[in-house]
Amino acid sequence: MGQARNICLVGHSGCGKTTLAAALMTKAGAKDLAFDSSQEEKDRGYTIDMTVGTFKVKDISITLMDTPGGDEFVEEMYKGVPVADLTLIVLNAEKGVEVSTERAWEITGVAKRPTAILINQMDRENAKFDAALTSVRDHFDGKFVPLQVPIRENGDFVGVVDLIENEAVYFGNKGKKDIPADLADAVEEARGILLEEVSSFDDELMMKFLEEEPITPHELATTLAHGLAAGELVPVLCSSATEGKGLDVLLHTITEAVEQKVGSIDAPTRAVAFHLSSDPYLGRLAFVKVIDGTIQEGKSLYDVTTGTKIEIRDIYAFDGTKQHRVSSAEAGHIVALGKADDVVLAGTIGAERGMEAYKMAEFPKPVYSRAITPKTQADVEKMSEALREIATTKATVIVGRDPVTKEMIMEGMGDIHLSLMIERMNNRYNVSLDTRRPTIPYKETIRKTAEARYRHKKQSGGRGQFGECELRLEPFEGGYQFLDKIKGASIPGQYIPGVEKGVIEAMEEGNLAKFPVTNVSVTVFDGSYHPVDSSELAFKMAGRHAFRDAFDNANPCLLEPIMHVDVRVPEEFTGDIISDMNGRRGRILGMEPEGKSTIVRAEAPLTEMQSYSLDLKSRTQGRATFQMAFSKYQAVPGNVQEKIIAQAKQEEE
Ligand X SMILES: Nc1nc2c(ncn2[C@@H]2O[C@H](COP(=O)(O)OP(=O)(O)O)[C@@H](O)[C@H]2O)c(=O)[nH]1
- Contacts with ligand X, residue ranges (CB under 6 A): 11, 13-19, 46-47, 69, 120-121, 123-124, 240-242
Nearer to ligand X, 47 or 61 (CB): 47
Nearer to ligand X, 68 or 364 (CB): 68
Nearer to ligand X, 95 or 540 (CB): 95
Q: How far is the CB of 99 from ligand X (least distance, A)?
A: 13
The partner in contact with residue 106, picked from ligand X, Mg ion, none with C-beta cut-offs of 5 to 8 angstroms by kind, is none
Q: How far is the CB of 126 from ligand X (least distance, A)?
A: 11
Q: How far is the CB of 275 from Mg ion (least distance, A)?
A: 15
* Pairing outcome for strands 368-374 and 433-436: antiparallel
The partner in contact with residue 568, picked from Mg ion, ligand X, none with C-beta cut-offs of 5 to 8 angstroms by kind, is none
Distance separating alpha carbons of residues 490 and 527, to the nearest angstrom: 5
Residue 138 identity (one-letter amino acid) = D
Distance separating alpha carbons of residues 65 and 83, to the nearest angstrom: 10
The partner in contact with residue 108, picked from ligand X, Mg ion, none with C-beta cut-offs of 5 to 8 angstroms by kind, is none
Nearer to Mg ion, 45 or 403 (CB): 45
Q: Give me the count of residues in the chain.
A: 653
The continuous run of DSSP H or E covering 102 comes out as: helix 99-109
> Nearest residue by C-beta to ligand X?
16
Q: How far is the CB of 245 from Mg ion (least distance, A)?
A: 19
Q: Which residues are within 8 A (CB) of 17 and not within 5 positions of it... i.e. 6 or more apart?
A: 9, 10, 11, 47, 66, 67, 69, 90
Q: How far is the CB of 248 from ligand X (least distance, A)?
A: 15
Q: Report which of 290, 231, 293, 247 is spatially closest to residue 267, judged by C-alpha positions.
A: 293
Distance separating alpha carbons of residues 89 and 127, to the nearest angstrom: 17
Q: Which residues are within 8 A (CB) of 501 and not within 5 positions of it... i.e. 6 or more apart?
A: 536, 540, 543
**CA of 196: how far to CAs of 18, 193, 204, 247, in Å?**
34, 5, 13, 26
The partner in contact with residue 331, picked from Mg ion, ligand X, none with C-beta cut-offs of 5 to 8 angstroms by kind, is none
The partner in contact with residue 40, picked from ligand X, Mg ion, none with C-beta cut-offs of 5 to 8 angstroms by kind, is none
**CA of 347: how far to CAs of 49, 107, 239, 385, in Å?**
19, 19, 36, 22
Q: Give backbone dihedrals phi and psi of 95, rounded to 5 degrees, phi first.
A: -110, -20
192 near 149, Cβ under 8 Å?
Answer: no
The partner in contact with residue 382, picked from ligand X, Mg ion, none with C-beta cut-offs of 5 to 8 angstroms by kind, is none
The partner in contact with residue 89, picked from ligand X, Mg ion, none with C-beta cut-offs of 5 to 8 angstroms by kind, is none
Nearer to ligand X, 156 or 167 (CB): 156
Q: How far is the CB of 360 from Mg ion (least distance, A)?
A: 22
The partner in contact with residue 15, picked from ligand X, Mg ion, none with C-beta cut-offs of 5 to 8 angstroms by kind, is ligand X
The partner in contact with residue 445, picked from ligand X, Mg ion, none with C-beta cut-offs of 5 to 8 angstroms by kind, is none
The partner in contact with residue 16, picked from Mg ion, ligand X, none with C-beta cut-offs of 5 to 8 angstroms by kind, is ligand X
Nearer to ligand X, 115 or 240 (CB): 240
Q: Which residues are within 8 A (CB) of 425 and not within 5 positions of it... i.e. 6 or more apart?
A: 383, 386, 387, 390, 431, 433
The upper half-sphere exposure of residue 143, i.e. CA atoms within 13 Å in the direction of its Cβ, equals: 19
Q: Which residues are within 8 A (CB) of 459 and not within 5 positions of it... i.e. 6 or more apart?
A: none
Nearer to ligand X, 93 or 558 (CB): 93
Nearer to ligand X, 95 or 113 (CB): 95
Q: How far is the CB of 161 from ligand X (least distance, A)?
A: 19
Nearer to Mg ion, 107 or 355 (CB): 107
Nearer to ligand X, 44 or 252 (CB): 44
Residues within the interface to Mg ion (CB under 5 A): 17-18, 47
Q: How far is the CB of 54 from ligand X (least distance, A)?
A: 18
Q: How far is the CB of 399 from Mg ion (least distance, A)?
A: 27
Q: How far is the CB of 23 from ligand X (least distance, A)?
A: 8
- 10 Å CB burial of residue 381 (0-12, 13-18, 19+) is exposed
**CA of 563: how far to CAs of 200, 601, 612, in Å?**
47, 11, 12
